[in-house]
Amino acid sequence: MKIELLTIGKNNFPFIEEGIQFYSLRINKYINFSIRYLPESKKLFNMPAGERQRREDEIFLREIKPGTFLILLDERGQQKTSLEFASFMQQLMNRGYRHIVFLMGGAYGVGEKIKQQAHEKLSLSRFTFPHELARLIFAEQLYRAFTLLKGEPYHHE
Q: Which domain holds residue 51?
A: 2-149
- The pLDDT tens digits for 124-136 are 999 989 999 999 9
| Neighbouring residues of 104: CB distance < 8 A, sequence distance ≥ 6 | 5, 6, 7, 8, 73, 131, 134, 135, 138
**Confidence band, pLDDT 50/70/90 cuts, at residue 106:** confident
Is residue 52 assigned to a domain? yes
CATH of the domain at 107: 3.40.1280.10
Q: How far apart are CA 88 and CA 94, in angstroms?
A: 10
Is residue 154 assigned to a domain? no
pLDDT exceeds 90 at position 87: yes
pLDDT exceeds 80 at position 41: no
Q: How far apart are CA 95 and CA 117, in angstroms?
A: 19
pTM exceeds 0.85, yes or no: yes
pLDDT exceeds 90 at position 53: no
Q: How far apart are CA 53 and CA 44, in angstroms?
A: 9
Is residue 84 assigned to a domain? yes
**Total tally of structural domains belonging to the chain:** 1
Residue 7: predicted pLDDT: 95
